[in-house]
Amino acid sequence: MSYLDDIMKSRRDTRHFLNDAVSDSVLEKALQAGHWAPSVGLTNATKYYIIKSGEIKKAIKKLFSEYDEKAANQTENASQKEQYQSLKLEAIEEAPLGMVICYDRSVLNNFTIGTVGSNEAIKFSAVCAAQNIWLSLTEQGYSMGWVSILNYYQFKKILNLPEHIEPLGYFCIGKPATNYDNQPMLQQLHWKQKEEHPFVQEITEIHLDIVEIHHESSVKVLDNKTLQSELQFKIDNKTKPTGALGVLETLALQIGTVFQTLTPKINQPNIVVFAADHGIAVHGVSAYPQDVTRQMVTNFLEEGAAINVFCKQNNIDLSIVNAGVNYDFPPNAKLIDASIDKGTQSFLHGPAMTRSQMELCFEKGSEIVAEIASKGSNCIGFGEMGIGNTSTASVLMSIITGIPIEECVGKGTGVNAEKLKFKSDILRKAIETYSGEDNLEDKLAYFGGFEILQMAGGMLEAFENNMLILVDGFICSVAFLIAYTKNPSIIRNAIFSHQSAEQAHGLLLNYMNAKAVLQLDLRLGEGTGCAIAFPIIQSAVAFLNEMASFDSAGVSNKE
């Protein structure tokens, strides 16, 4: 075995350090090794920040401790939880030197060779640099420990890093106090065994099949009796039997009343898809892994999803919002960054978010819709994407309406009967263990999802701007339920595009005395129901404005 092999084999995460200082020469040599690492397109996007301040280390340690406690609550196994809490996973204050290795997303503002296929390549370059630094330190008799159990949003704020600088984590540097019996610490403590050999498989066939990912009204009108009477007279006197256009007549009356005119017009229709991750997903309540949220947002941005197709088909503007996906998206003009955090926490053991984060959700949702309204749009649809969000929506529906959780739980992304029962049991346990205040705001913070609350805030803003509000399926209807609970008058402007295949959706619509335009057994989300229903809404406006009356056409009425 060569000397390099020995170095690589002995390189591991170090959590126990001696007090010996790290000399400038050792650090310079290690940083030079990092600089020699591959750099996609020679961007030099990797940046290094040195931490010596005890005060800063203390603040970062506090940030770690908060997230470490939440991480411990992710396991249901009591002995595993105890074992996890006994592990030493950082040496932030003990290590003589700290380093934050980052990558600079702003290099993507210009053409960069090697990033066309994946903007993530600049992050991969930074990881290569971290590895080189690790190897260099090991060769010099020092070591490094990578700490990633952090709230990265708060981490950046503590360090005052610019928005475009993204940290890989916090790295503890110093002389190791132990060799951990020449094996990874987690292996030494019997937490998990590292495979002796790497996984290697030759791929010999081309597979081109595309896998499709499937996720899963009676309307009160304004008290303008004269306008309503005139609208109803206009509708009834079209060249058709009274009521012959069914739901189209109901929609025409509603739309004319909302816009306060006998000749309504829909301007610059827009559908906004809010995406976020949910901590409850770690408990296996979804048929898909959490990373699908990120994958589907990328799919939206690359215009490959169902909502892209339907919006293009019907000339609807589409906006995509990162409300809190567990991922660092590179700069993209098509993506609205309203991220609150990298996903919520699991509400099985504690609040999904803080009260301030909950309030920020409503603010950001409101700001996004206000911006769309300021550009002349008077019709907005709401869609969502987030693995685990049917679980969140089910709990929110249950605690607001009082309907038992078992009746609010559905298949979501398509779980089987066994997993559906498991999902129901998990959510019932979460509700039963809630010990917070009995008010809406505290419950929203405890059980809410970033994208659901941002939609609710956006819907309330849309009502303030007298926009027509198109509501998609079950999850969007729960967001509307929150808005409706805060301001029942919002129902006047709402059109529920479809009743989804989720069993609870019909119960929820009944609770709000609402009726959906379509019933197509959809459960995709993304705002697809809004886009599919939009031509029907256009037809309601068209017949009201363009269809002849009995008088103008010279056609005899039945009288």
Round to whole Å and give the CA distance between 371 and 365.
10
C-alpha 173/C-alpha 278 separation (Å) is 33
Q: How far apart are CA 235 and CA 252, in angstroms?
A: 8
Query: 247 φ, ψ to 5°?
Result: -60, -30
The Cα-based distances of 487 to 251, 393, 443, 481 in angstroms read: 22, 19, 17, 10
Hey, is 145 helix, strand or coil? Answer: strand
Residues 479 and 29: their CA atoms lie apart, in Å, by: 54
Instruction: Write out the DSSP string of 362-419.
Output: HHHHHHHHHHHHHTT--EEEEEEE-TTHHHHHHHHHHHHH---HHHH---TTT--HHH
- Strand (E) or helix (H) holding 381: strand 379-385
Q: Residue 22 carries which DSSP code?
A: P
Distance (Å, whole) CA 147 – CA 130: 12
What are 429's two structure tokens?
């346990």
**Gap between the Cα atoms of 170 and 310, Å rounded:** 44
CA–CA separation, 360 vs 205, rounded Å? 49
What CA–CA distance (Å, rounded) separates 321 from 343?
A: 14
What is the C-alpha to C-alpha distance for residues 554 and 517, in angstroms, rounded to an integer? 32
DSSP summary character for residue 238: B
Question: Given phi > 0 = left and psi -120 to 50 = alpha, else beta, which region is 104?
Answer: beta
With 0-12 CB in 10 A as exposed, 13-18 as middle and 19+ as buried, what is 236?
Answer: middle
For residue 7, report the phi and psi dihedrals to the nearest 5 degrees: -60, -50
| Spatial CB neighbours of 344, under 8 Å, sequence gap ≥ 6 | 276, 277, 278, 279, 280, 324, 352, 353, 392, 448, 449, 450
Tell me the CB-side half-sphere exposure of residue 8, using CA atoms within 13 A. Answer: 5
Annotated catalytic residue, options 55, 367, 526, 546: 526
Q: How many CB atoms lie within 10 A of CB 9?
A: 12
- Is 526 in the active site? yes
Measured in whole angstroms, how far is the alpha carbon of residue 485 from the centre of its chain? 23
Cβ within 8 Å of residue 215, ≥6 positions away: 288, 292, 296, 385, 387, 412, 413, 523, 524, 525, 526
Strand pairing of 165-174 and 335-337? unpaired
Distance CA 437, CA 433 (A): 12
Within 13 A of 266's CA, how many CA atoms are on the CB side? 26
Look-up of token digits 């089910």: 394
Choose among 488, 545, 26: nearest CA to 220: 488
Catalytic residues: 526
